Amino acid sequence: MSEDEKVKYPFAFDGRWALRHQVPYTVEHDGRTYQILATVFAEPSVHGRVRVGCEGRPVGEYDGLTPGAVLEITGDTWRVKAVDYRTRIVLEHVIDDRKEDTRVEHGS
C-alpha cells in the first residue's frame, strides 16, 4: 500500500464489519468525512438501524435491519449477517454485482 492509499473501512476485518451499538464510526470517501452510527432495538423484534451522515448532515438511514438485509455505505454494498441486541450489527462486504430482493430502502 502506498502512502496515498488509505483503508476505507479501518474497523472491518476479513470482509466483515461489526458496528457496535451506539459507537460512532468515521469513514473517509472521495475527500469527504462520513459518520456511521448503529443502533439495535428489541421491539417489536430484534432489529437494527444504521444512520449515515456526511460532514454533520444526514445522508441516509437504514431501519428494520435483520440478517440478510442489504445496505449501501459510501458506495459499497454490505449484507447484514447478525444483529445482536444492544451489542452490534455485523455486516459482510458484498463484492459481486448481484443485488438481492432484501435491499432495505433508506430515507432521511
Query: What pLDDT score was predicted for residue 1?
Result: 39
Per-residue pLDDT, averaged over 87-102, amounts to 75
pLDDT in tens, 40-87: 999 989 999 999 999 889 999 999 999 999 999 999 999 999 999 989
Full-model pTM: 0.81
Query: What pLDDT score was predicted for residue 5?
Result: 53
Query: What pLDDT score was predicted for residue 95?
Result: 84
Query: What pLDDT score was predicted for residue 86?
Result: 87
Alpha-carbon distance values, 99 to 20, 70, 79, 105 (Å): 25, 8, 10, 13
* Measured distance CA(17)–CA(63) in Å, rounded: 18
